[in-house]
Amino acid sequence: MKTREEYIESLKKLNLEVYLMGEKVDVPTEHPIIKPSMNSVAMTYELAQQPEYEELMTATSNLTGEKVNRFAHLHQSTDDLIKKVKMQRLLGQKTASCFQRCVGMDAANAVYSTTYECDEAHGTNYHENFKKYWERIQREDLVVDGAMTDPKGDRALSPSQQKDPDMYLRVVETREDGIVVRGSKAHQTGIVNSHEVIVMPTIAMRPEDKDYAVAFALPSDAEGIFMIYGRQSCDTRKMEPNADIDVGNKNFGGHEALMIFDNVFVPNDRIFMNGETDFAGMMVERFASYHRQSYGGCKVGVGDVLIGATALAADYNGVPKASHIKDKIIEMNHLNETLYSCGIACSCEGSKMKAGNYYVDTLLANVCKQNITRMPYEITRLAEDIAGGLMVTMPSQQDYDNEKLRPYIDKYLQGNADVSTEDRMRILRLIENITLGTAAVGYRTESMHGAGSPQAQRIMIGRQANVEHKKELAKNIAGIKKK
């Protein structure tokens, strides 16, 4: 397994084509806006090397029998599913941001089981392709991004009905040795910090959408691939001199990017679906369920940091004993542990797939993510309530470093006399970062839209809830006889 340092060195060897604020980035690993997100991924390597976290951060591969980073593991039991959620909570606690490696892990487990069943039905060889590919990922301990979300264009139209056929990624040419694809994948978490990308369909497909039912893997620096880095609130603070306090979370962060595939060649041995429209929906549903489970870990870990920061803000404001403050912090913990409970529950209720890896309980995974679309917003509201308006009105670090201004800032922004004004400013900036700033991408807004919109989960809950069975239970209790 790679060390943190080996991971960073391996990124430097990639020939990525990345654009940020209209300019090409020559060395992404050194760019001040990108670097904190790289540090978050590096933490997945760092913790895997530490004996106290070995049980959570590593696993034994079913493909090679070797020890691998859990982010490269194919779940072999419900215990693996549980440890996944616990690992994600740990990393959220360590980074207070998105550590970006979950999408590839969830994609791999979905593709592994779907290709097995697709091969059974169609006599294809996708599962063997994927196994050989994933053995290499495990052996080299690579970061793999998962790419599912297409721009979608007019949502009322299917992929093949779009005015611009590239609104969903598609096969534009078939060759003897592979295929050529064109299109885009949006909101790509961590792609600039990834060695590889697994591409999947984004919705269930009809037979006429055959060209869009495609799944494959490529190096992130393959010819024809480039990324346009997404803006985040307060992101340019990372580029300012003397802005250590203002950034809030100076070491860690997340990122998203728009990923373009401009007539990209995919070799045959890297193709995992090509035209099998009857299995596109299965791959989408399985990935979505795994990823909705993930949110019961990562968002909870970041929530732990936010709750801690909020409790410190109360201390620094001089109000830790106020009954309403205590009650609000209790409510924040109640909501956060509720989210964690759902992540653990859908893992405990998981089951073995035909391919041999384990899958979460779909209903409970969707309930988990539906709660994530709501509860972090209330946790955020309570954090902002307790922190106070100073969180978004206080002067900058450059003001604080000014010899004339500093005595006045120290004097008038003092809270608890036993706490320095600088420490008070630092904790308020951390809360701002998590709730409004760059980390909000990995906490607040992503809680709403990541792994599918709230309505997507409600549709799945409606399908999985088995209301007809519940009607029969009620009829039996009420003594209503079958006609």
Q: Annotated catalytic, 446?
A: yes
Q: Annotated catalytic, 342?
A: no
Q: What gap in Å lies between CA 247 and CA 436, rounded to an integer? A: 12
Q: Which two tokens stand for residue 284?
A: 């989408």
**For residue 305, which amino acid is it?**
V
Helix, strand, or coil (residue 148):
coil
Q: Point out the catalytic residue in the list 95, 189, 380, 421.
A: 189
Q: Point out the catalytic residue in the list 118, 234, 298, 368.
A: 298
The pLDDT assigned to 389 comes to 97
Prediction pTM value: 0.97
Q: Point out the catalytic residue in the list 7, 126, 295, 316.
A: 295
282-472 homologous superfamily: Butyryl-CoA Dehydrogenase, subunit A, domain 3 (1.20.140.10)
The pLDDT assigned to 438 comes to 86
Q: Point out the catalytic residue in the list 31, 98, 373, 443.
A: 98
The pLDDT assigned to 288 comes to 97
Helix, strand, or coil (residue 332):
helix
**383-418 confidence digits (pLDDT tens):** 999 999 999 999 999 999 999 999 999 999 999 999
The pLDDT assigned to 442 comes to 84
The pLDDT assigned to 55 comes to 97
Q: How far is CA 258 from the centre of its chain?
A: 15
Q: Point out the catalytic residue in the list 7, 17, 102, 443.
A: 102
Q: What gap in Å lies between CA 232 and CA 441, rounded to an integer? A: 7
The pLDDT assigned to 236 comes to 96
The pLDDT assigned to 368 comes to 98
Cβ 72 vs Cβ 105: under 8 Å: yes
Q: How far is CA 185 from the centre of its chain?
A: 15
Whole-number average pLDDT of the chain: 97
The pLDDT assigned to 231 comes to 95
pLDDT of 482 above 90 = no
pLDDT > 70 in the chain, percent: 100
Q: Annotated catalytic, 256?
A: yes
SS3 content of the chain, % helix, strand, coil (to 5): 55, 15, 30
Q: Point out the catalytic residue in the list 17, 256, 276, 384.
A: 256
Q: What gap in Å lies between CA 364 and CA 366, rounded to an integer? A: 5
4-280 homologous superfamily: Butyryl-CoA Dehydrogenase, subunit A, domain 2 (2.40.110.10)
Domain spans of the chain?
4-280, 282-472
Q: What gap in Å lies between CA 106 and CA 290, rounded to an integer? A: 6
Q: What sign results for the dihedral spanned by CA atoms 219, 136, 46, 291?
A: positive
Q: Point out the catalytic residue in the list 31, 187, 255, 291.
A: 291
pLDDT of 7 above 90 = yes
**22-69 confidence digits (pLDDT tens):** 999 999 999 999 999 999 999 999 999 999 999 999 999 999 999 999
**419-444 confidence digits (pLDDT tens):** 999 999 999 999 999 999 888 888 98
**163-220 confidence digits (pLDDT tens):** 999 999 999 999 999 999 999 999 999 999 999 999 999 999 999 999 999 999 999 9
pLDDT > 90 in the chain, percent: 97
Q: Annotated catalytic, 234?
A: no
Q: What gap in Å lies between CA 132 and CA 128, rounded to an integer? A: 6
Q: φ and ψ at 388, to 5 degrees?
A: 95, 165
The pLDDT assigned to 483 comes to 80
Q: Point out the catalytic residue in the list 17, 384, 432, 446.
A: 446
**253-263 confidence digits (pLDDT tens):** 999 999 999 99
Q: Annotated catalytic, 17?
A: no
